[in-house]
Structure 1
């Protein structure tokens, strides 16, 4: 038996359990609707630190970040809920039974794009400092830069949701933490790769400029 792999596996499960418990506690402290966004955002922040192997005080880091970003994260996600979530819910409740195949396909694709954008947005908030109003369009734009990566992250969300539906007892203990841990891990790699490409392109541009200046 490979004890090192067993230890690493149990440590990851323990991290997911803590992430799950912190999200639920933070959501309750924020009275549900106001606590969900900052809880998920703080969980992504802590998951990023775990992936980068930074030594942190888990719950202290979570709730310090939770308090600091309570208002900004709610501004982002409550705005999305009001401008997109509620209208889509109304469409689903009132018109979905009357949709034809084409309209139903468009509706499902838009739902998938929305979930993929939210997946990206949680992770992007931890990697880039942008004006609050810029996060949603930037996350939506990233889908065009890395569609397969975003689709993989969406698939991960779908797997976690399906398992939670089949085994609802996991939701209060593990499901949310597993999703956050995996989602942050995927996007951390995507953003780091994207930064390497940007730096590589900038280096090539600088080299070309130096070459042209030398020739002239």
Structure 2
């Protein structure tokens, strides 16, 4: 079957759709296995590692690979995810408190908290795709993803739009949640982040090649 034929493209599409549905079920199962709070981080890490392998054409049996990466990254993934969850809860509680007040100062504080929450959401979109791609000290992942989100605002806006669209679709059609919602969001954001990181790495490599020998090296995910 020619790779460019309609049948080949249709097969690839439905194969990817089925893969996303399986990824969605695996994420839900393993997140629940970790009581939600302790399972979401490792499940997300395992999902993005699997997505990166598929994007790179280096696929492995999904269920076996997912389970292996879930358990092997359980501690490290939680060390990254739990602080982000904690900050998100604090921001949500503070926004809820100040937004209920009618005075101007409280409304300004609520608006500021909302802006910080949006930026945190943008950085979080890069967090586990970055974890799946780069070997960094644990404390550096959130800092580096925040820097990347700020320096690549166009990509960040795209990721936030996709996240909002996935949330809206899931709230409007709850039947999507058990089959596609999380898996589709993870796959699309993971695929996009892989493209963003690759473009960034190429531009950094070009800059380093053109820089004088005594120039300070540029971080690959700056």
Alignment partner, residue 137 of structure 2: 131
1:36 to 31, 35, 40: 40
Alignment RMSD, CA only? Answer: 1.8
SS in 1 for 2:136: coil
Q: Distance in 2 between matches of 1:3 and 1:23?
A: 30
- 1:64-213 superposed matches below 5 A: 64-82=68-86, 84-98=87-101, 100=104, 102-206=108-212
2:17 aligns to what? 13
TM-score, structure 2 as length reference: 0.88
How many pairs does the alignment contain?
A: 208
Q: Which residue of 2 aligns with 1:60?
A: 64
Gaps of 5+ in 2: 216-222
Q: Could you report, residue by residue, the CA deviation over 1:144-197 in whole angstroms, capped at 9, with x for unpaired residues? A: 221101110111111111100100111011100000000110000111111101
Whole-Å Cα distance in 2 between the matches of residues 12 and 103 of structure 1? 44
1:97-128, Cα deviation, whole Å (9 max, x unpaired)? 22645444323221211111111111111111
Whole-Å Cα distance in 1 between the matches of residues 184 and 89 of structure 2? Answer: 27
For each residue in 1:12-40, what CA deviation from the matched residue of structure 2 results, as whole angstroms up to 9, or x when unmatched? 11111011011011112112211111001
Matched residues in 2 for 1:205 and 1:92: separation?
Answer: 46
Bigger RCO (CA 8 Å, 6+ sep): 1
Q: Are the aligned partners of 2:95 and 2:114 in contact in 1 as well (CA < 8 Å)?
A: no
Task: Tell me, yes or no, if the aligned pair for 2:26 and 2:63 is still in contact at 8 Å.
Answer: yes
SS at match of 1:45: helix
2:100 alignment partner, SS class? helix
Structure 2 residue matching 1:31: 3-state secondary structure: coil
| TM-score of the pair, normalised by structure 1 | 0.90
Between the aligned partners of 2:185 and 2:31, the Cα distance in structure 1 is: 16
